[in-house]
Amino acid sequence: MTADTRREALKNLVSTDGISFAATPILIGPAPYFDLAGEEFGSRLILTIGADGSEFCLRPDFTLPIAIEHLKSGASTPAAYGYLGPIFRQRTDGPAEFDQAGLELLALPDSDAALDRVIGFARAALDIYGIASPAIRVGSIDLFEAFLASCDMPDVWRPRIRARFGHPRAMTRLLDRLADPHKPMEGPKGIPQQGIADWVSELMLTNGLSLTESRGPDEIARRYLEKQALEAAHVPSHTIDLLRTYLAISGDTDQALSAIAELAERGGFALSGAIEDAAASVAQLRNSGRLSGLVFDAGFSPRLDYYTGITFEMTGKDGAVLVSGGQYDRLLKRLGAETEIPAVGCAVWVERLEASCGAGEAGQ
């Protein structure tokens, strides 16, 4: 099969019966990416300004534009969207423009069947490029969130730990900080909480700083008070140890989930339901995709907090990610839907597949 034939087969895969081919605009508003994907992803956007001063970015992915357009037709309307086209991101290596293909299933009533369909799509894409045995890493956001909810700690820390899930370095820094004895913050002694914003305003004006540019006094005061509350909230050392142990679990899926069950028992956590759900999803991934050698990585998650449930990535022999995906039931609600809407999808890194396929043919 030639490169052109493979590309044509991929086009057919993303626009077959029952799939609407999504042709999203290349120029889109960047606000949803800053709001939902965070500063790390936002720093990779390629920004431009329109003639009227409006800010745009070159499309960095298809998932958010597809979800935004889907909301206009009704968030609870079942739909399947396929895509194939260029996306644009600043990268430390490689071109800033590259092609992605993918499938997004939104609001389908049977979430298990939807996951099966996405896994089957990923398998079919790999088959087009002759990738028979990719390495597969699997994670479960629901399982981590259930574990985190069971941990003994002040509630103020749970969202901050959750926000760092999938960011190993940031998580390590946070846990290291929590493991150190807390030192009280120095601050405006004798000033009541309701007066801190005024104190900040006066300090800013004294130093010639604008009260309207960048962060204002109210936001600075709020963050100061929030940080005080965090510093005063102690996380027990045994909780930090449990989190470190959980996040380090990785290996054969059955063995990894057994290790999590043992850890939960040691901590007195009731996680059997969440572990069973994760095991069922992993089995579904294995069977629907005709895959073997899956690795369950307890600390694995996309760096986007609207993901839920099972997530996965499939890599080639050089370790490059060829397919990545998972469930993201929170996204449509975060974009304005009244409730969470079942959603699952995957993205195919086309040029990596083409390079992997070419390398394989060269070695034959």
Per-residue confidence (pLDDT) for residue 331, from 0 to 100: 94
List the binding residues: 61-63, 89, 100, 104, 306-307
Per-residue confidence (pLDDT) for residue 185, from 0 to 100: 40
Domain contains 45: yes
Per-residue confidence (pLDDT) for residue 231, from 0 to 100: 61
Whether residues 148 and 295 share a domain: the answer is yes
Distance of alpha carbon 192 from alpha carbon 45, whole angstroms: 41
Whether residues 260 and 277 share a domain: the answer is yes
Whether residues 294 and 327 share a domain: the answer is no
Whether residues 86 and 220 share a domain: the answer is no
Per-residue confidence (pLDDT) for residue 187, from 0 to 100: 46
Whether residues 21 and 160 share a domain: the answer is no
Whether residues 102 and 162 share a domain: the answer is no
Domain contains 177: no
Whether residues 124 and 143 share a domain: the answer is no
| 84 and 350 Cβ atoms separated by less than 8 Å | yes
Domain contains 173: no
Domain contains 184: no
| 131 and 357 Cβ atoms separated by less than 8 Å | yes
Whether residues 257 and 349 share a domain: the answer is no
Q: What's the number of domains the chain is made of?
A: 3
Distance of alpha carbon 200 from alpha carbon 211, whole angstroms: 10
Distance of alpha carbon 233 from alpha carbon 228, whole angstroms: 9
CATH number of the domain to which 104 belongs: 3.30.930.10
Per-residue confidence (pLDDT) for residue 264, from 0 to 100: 95
Domain contains 187: no
Per-residue confidence (pLDDT) for residue 352, from 0 to 100: 92
Q: Look up the pTM and report it.
A: 0.82
**Which strand (E) or helix (H) includes residue 322?**
strand 321-327
Whether residues 224 and 146 share a domain: the answer is no
Domain contains 176: no
Q: Which domain holds residue 356?
A: 1-133+323-364
Domain contains 183: no
With a cut of 50, which residues of the chain have pLDDT below it? 183-187, 189, 199, 204-206, 210-213, 360-364
Distance of alpha carbon 363 from alpha carbon 357, whole angstroms: 10
List the binding residues for L-histidine: 61-63, 89, 100, 104, 306-307
Whether residues 143 and 242 share a domain: the answer is yes
Share of the chain above pLDDT 90, in %: 59
* pLDDT tens for each residue of 229-284: 566 678 999 999 999 999 999 999 999 999 999 999 999 999 999 999 999 988 88
Domain contains 174: no
Per-residue confidence (pLDDT) for residue 271, from 0 to 100: 93
Per-residue confidence (pLDDT) for residue 287, from 0 to 100: 80
Whether residues 2 and 139 share a domain: the answer is no
Tokens of 69: 């357009």
Distance of alpha carbon 137 from alpha carbon 14, whole angstroms: 24
Whether residues 249 and 292 share a domain: the answer is yes
Per-residue confidence (pLDDT) for residue 186, from 0 to 100: 41
Cβ-Cβ contacts under 8 Å for 209 (sequence gap 6 or more): none
